[in-house]
A and B are shown apart, each in its own frame.
Chain A
Amino acid sequence: MELSRSELITAEIVRNYLESVCEEMSKIVENTAISQIFSEAHDYSTGIFYFDGSEVSLVARAQAVPVHIFAALTSVETALRIYAGSVDEGDLFFVSDPYYGGSHIPDWTVIRPVFFGGRPRFFTSLRGHVNDVGGCAPGGYNTLAREIWHEGFRCPPVKLEERGVPVKDIWNLILANTRQANEISGDLHAMAGACTVGARRVEEIVRKYGLPAIERSVAWVLDYSEARLRAEIRSWSDGAYTGSAVLDHDFAGGRDLVVKAQVTVAGDGLTIDLSGSAPQGGGFVNSVAANTISNVYSAIVSICPDIPVNSGYFRPVKIVLPPASVVNCDPPAPVGHSTVCIGSDIMEAVMKALERVVPQRVGAADIDLCNFRVYGTNSKTGDYFLAGDLNVTAMSAGGTYGVDGWGGWAAPFCALKLPPLEMYEFQFPFRYLQMEYACDSAAPGRWRGAPASHYRRAMLDPVHCIAYTQGYRHTMQGYCGGRPGAGNIFVVNEGLPQEMRIEEACYNVPMPAGAVIFAQSGAGGGWGDPLERDPEAVREDVLDEYVSIDGARRDYGVVIDPGTVAVDRQATEALRAARGARAAPR
């Protein structure tokens, strides 16, 4: 599409405006939602979609949890299909079922159509992870789930508002199927409010420039992203590149679930084929197609982050999914954990395939989530409480070219925030005993991964616990000669006779008042040969206690004088030369 010079300026204004609307929607939810998974952890994403009468396109999104907003496109399409002919001004849609374009049941999607000329042209949307969705396990992560009906209340596309009037019994049905109706009602109202404000903003810019100008701008924005990515792909060497990742287990006895990705670069297009991935299994790591596609897109976006993310971006990418597989499951397979486990493995497999294509851009883009939920009665308030804690999985950043893994999640997940421990202590009967890096746990590399974190928390009231972990045996991989990250583990009731070491999961385990849970969150792999890491950088790591003097020698071939903590350059060169002769080729 050719635009005049002034139209180009308008198009950029429109693009940035719509992205700022998404940011505003995001801020509204952050400031008005009740549950800390929204207000502090920021586990939601916003987006604006455009409908040209036949196709829905993602036009703009805020800093987001990437797997949310890509899958939300499918939810918008599904709502339009189900309500074909009966979408009206003032409607507000809701959907949570994974098999209707969702990802997993706790990810709720709210959609507001924006009308022009009597037809819905835009949609403001918000997808957020709510704290509980009923079902057989508090918190929505049922480690014993073998069917979707074990996971929570499934909601097809429904109208929360019809022509501006709240549909009372639908609201009530959705909220009655959570264990925290009061809090989650506030969250759902915040989501709806954000979509409403977003819709108003879209109306404002259309009033200002006129619908034809906006539609031309949107079309150009989509074409622009497509052209940019095609140009990028053209610079890559044609060929077929394979990668894989392995998930420890499926929580149902299945072990070592492989995700395989073949990335074929041909001219200015990519085909990503996940054939050969494990068949769908018994436990809750199966991924619906929309979730898998989200994770594939997230890996590519990580490689080319400066291109505006919208549906145009994905036009050069074709994705092939094997049926009845762990990456494209059929109902009634359980899917509760798939947004990150198997989702992270999907991202990792694609990233490993791209390692030979764009080695200086690869690194950990996934999140090796282990988490737990505790629930019980808060003796301070007498109320039932239910809490997860993202601080238990704080580390997943790995090294990438030029950058060590930073202290937190991999880049695509950085819209998620780690809630302050003090806020957890304020709201729940917890006391944190430890939250710090573990020495000698960072994956070695020319650029190392983040250190693993060690976490200890005491429960001040009796609770029950559901804990689930992956990445104990198959940890996050290194790239281009970097080593893999440390693994994840839980210990529940640490030091008590009923202590349990959790390498997979536990369900509804009682923890008495004073009991402690310990977790190691292992972090991403390193990038490049550790023997090529700048010795001064290793010395800095030793001073920061990320690496011990012994670790510096063992993992990096750097000899440091324990008295002066200075690098012994001669000894280092000699040690590295000796090791380098035996080192595997990169």
Chain B
Amino acid sequence: MADEASDIDVAALRRGEASFRAAMPAAWDGAVFGALAGGGRRVLVASDPCSSASLGQTLRSISDFFDAWQPGDVALTNDVQCGSTHPSEFTAVAPLFSGAGEPAGWTLLRADCPDIGGWALGSVSPRALDIWSEGARIVPARLVAAGRVRREVTDMLSLNSRTPKLIGAWTMALVTGVQALADALPKALAVSAAVAADARNRTANALARISGEHHGIGAVPIPGGGTLALQVQVRRHGERLQVSFPDSPQSSVQPLNASRAIVADCVARAVAAALTLDVRAAVALPEFIELAIAEGSLLAASWRLPAGWARAVTGRAVYLAVCNALDTDASRGWLERDPYLDAATGGLDRKRSAHIASLEMRS
């Protein structure tokens, strides 16, 4: 039953994502990921299961913020303190109900927006002094209230974007997509406990294949010069995996600062690649990963610090280090997506910038 429900769920996720794309200009090619979480706010299935740690944090942040939910609500955030991996990445969340009362589950849709302000188009720049320099912080905001789009929130998004028309379309596409997920996924709620248990069992069994202590190094060029190198230790302890980063660099004036959620995502991605976990199992990985990171270091940085490169550079370094430790081909598991950084400038690469500007003009 869990298998069948999961297959249905993954197909439903794809349909929700397709709804988003259909609502966008045809040439928009930004990545989009859907997910389903149960009433306990555990992510049950996701088209990018290795984002379940950060998706879970986003869901908890949003659901904790609002006192009450109604059918037809959609809320969103891009805030790194709320689980976003970088400031141009938004997650929309919609509650699922099976009768009156509290939500029985949640659908999530995550995508990068074209622009939300800051120094440069695409909202990523090495000039950022802090998180506010990278663009508008959209902390949990109710975009749709009981089916009615809130003008205040859409106007705020438009005003704080260099691409107001495109972000307008993108916002409505997010709403369409996350609501399409809500329509397509109610069956999953009925079997959520079984789905979650199945994922845990499969993950636990896979993790048992890791034994001993493993060390690795991951290095990624920093835009504009230099290299970020991270060391990692991976050790299985009972059914859990302890991952520590000795000599982790201090937090940075460059937009390299990562949160625990991003680190958890990237560790999960590497472990999933090493164990060849399928999407149904990989979503449970964060429950088995213990991170030992010094607070205030680059990998558990203050949320006030700039984070535009957190996924593309720091996260990738984490991923490479863990792949190296587990002796895994790193080319298989990494998902290359927004923001597309220019290696020299650290901003959005020219082709992407031109593409976004062109779409805005044509909107």
Contacts and interface: CB of A to CB of B under 8 A. Distances in A.
Interface of A: 82, 97, 134-138, 147, 149-150, 153-156, 158-159, 167-170, 172-173, 176-177, 179, 332, 384, 508
A169 B137 CA distance: 12
A177 B155 contact: no
Contacts of B75: 169
A156 B127 contact: no
A134 B119 CA distance: 12
Which one of B79, B153, B155 has the greatest number of beta carbons of chain A within 10 Å?
B155
Given A136-B119, A137-B133, A158-B152, 13 more contacts: A134-B132, A136-B132, A147-B162, A149-B160, A154-B156, A156-B152, A167-B152, A168-B66, A169-B141, A170-B141, A172-B65, A173-B139, A179-B304
A170 B132 CA distance: 17
Query: Residue among B127, B139, B160 with the most chain A CB within 10 A?
Result: B160
Contacts of B141: 169-170, 172-173
B118 A169 contact: no
Contact of B117 (A149, A167, A176): A149
A102 to B, nearest CB: 11
Interface in B117-168: 117-119, 127-130, 132-133, 136-142, 151-153, 155-156, 159-162
Interface of B: 65-67, 75, 79, 117-119, 127-130, 132-133, 136-142, 151-153, 155-156, 159-162, 304
Given A153-B160, A154-B160, A177-B137, A138 B152 contact: no
Contacts of A179: 130, 132, 304
B132 A177 contact: yes
Contacts of A135: 117, 132-133
A136 B118 contact: yes
Given A136-B119, A136-B133, A169 B156 contact: no
22 contacts: A135-B132, A135-B133, A136-B119, A136-B129, A136-B132, A136-B133, A147-B162, A149-B117, A149-B162, A154-B136, A155-B156, A156-B152, A156-B155, A156-B159, A158-B152, A159-B152, A169-B139, A173-B141, A173-B153, A173-B156, A176-B79, A179-B132
A170 B75 CA distance: 12
Contacts of B162: 147, 149, 332
A136 B128 contact: yes
B152 A508 contact: no
Contacts of B127: 136
B131 to A, nearest CB: 9
Contacts of B130: 138, 179
Contacts of B160: 149, 153-154
B356 to A, nearest CB: 14
B77 to A, nearest CB: 10
Contacts of A172: 65, 139-141
B142 A169 contact: yes
A296 B128 CA distance: 37
Contacts of A150: 119
B137 A176 contact: yes
A173 B142 CA distance: 11
A169 B160 CA distance: 17
Contact of B152 (A134, A154, A170): A170
Closest 3 CB pairs of A and B: A134-B132, A154-B159, A149-B117
B139 A138 contact: no
A155 B128 CA distance: 21
